Structure 1
């Protein structure tokens, strides 16, 4: 059975990740896996000082460094275990998730996620991860995940609130059409009104696209609203979302036209920085 996999890193985003993943696990009736990855970057880089110190001193120093590395590795494992235990406790208390497993891995996050891709139904990450808390570019690791992981990715803000409605940013591409099909069938959106929004010209072609999307969602049992809005993608979508108090935005990772430029360009950073609600990315 495929799982909802929640990436826990000890940052302020971890609480939102646990809450959103637990909600998704219940909605999908899927097991929840809490994942903590100890990245290689956490280990200290050794300097090559072989030309600066004598043989005996060098061997002693290397032994001491090895001992420090061993202690650091043990502490990181213990810290990760505590993070996972706390996350499990929160999921049990707040969302009553019955099927929870915990995993801890060494290595790069992206390599771990790709290795687990076959057993992933939904991947949950924090919008503001550990590196962001240290002042790193918000998209430095997230963009790699979005490009390489071919599963739906739920990006959670630091504080998660259960969404009461969803909004799909639609551009008529194959990715967003598959998004319509997913929304119409997925239990993740059971009982939610769904808004389908296009950014572009109010043309007959775009209206026809929206009519198809609307009917597909109605056939799936959803209450549906459609709209075409003008302007730049990010502010136009956020304005519509805010106006209609929509709890979750859904987007295709790679479509075409304005939506594609939006997701692969620098606007992504601004979008994620400003997002106060969960964002579901489809592939």
Structure 2
């Protein structure tokens, strides 16, 4: 994928998946704006990615979003690609989650995605030539996950925003997709089923076993970058409004919510009528527990 001449902004790219995205985009020829709340992480990323510039800012409010777009325009003259990767975790079960826990995660993930995408879309429409907005989702947003009310809700909202913005920005030739990555990060390394396998791979340099890469769809952060680079490229011109999973050896297209079964009754449905007729096969929920061979 040749991204020469493209300018990309990657939020939360001081470390982890975000840093891998920024590095891969630059390797494909893009000029990159690196972002992180931690100035030291920004400086280290800029030093590692030739030709990049950095912005230390907490994603969430409008001022930070506009600062990121302005940095791209000032340094490189335009913005072609936005990756909304910045995020935080405040995991707690429902009855222990505080207002602050909920608001902090929603502010960064959901509001931050909105403000950054809005700022980028305004500039992309003004300059013409289309663009790519790639939102970072999560399996938790697709299926729910124990202890992640705030995170799952924000990531589900991000998938919904991708579908909505794909409609709204189609005439401007700006594609919008949600990527659902699964990779060995500081968060997933703590999962008991994965921790010893990841630790051994890091210690020995051996690749992850096939059951982890294929059955669980979990690999390194670099395994996710091919999809990001592809979606940022001209080769992905016709792809928009999709939620696409990537991890390890697995690439998957997530389905959109749709009515699975429908019943009709003349005159509508009273409670007793529903009780008598209910025969729906219920949908599964939650991220399945890992199956270790």
Relative to total residues, which structure has the larger strand share, 1 or 2? 1
Normalising by structure 2, we get a TM-score of 0.35
Question: Which structure is higher in RCO with an 8 Å CA cutoff and minimum separation 6?
Answer: 1
Of structures 1 and 2, the larger Rg is shown by: 1
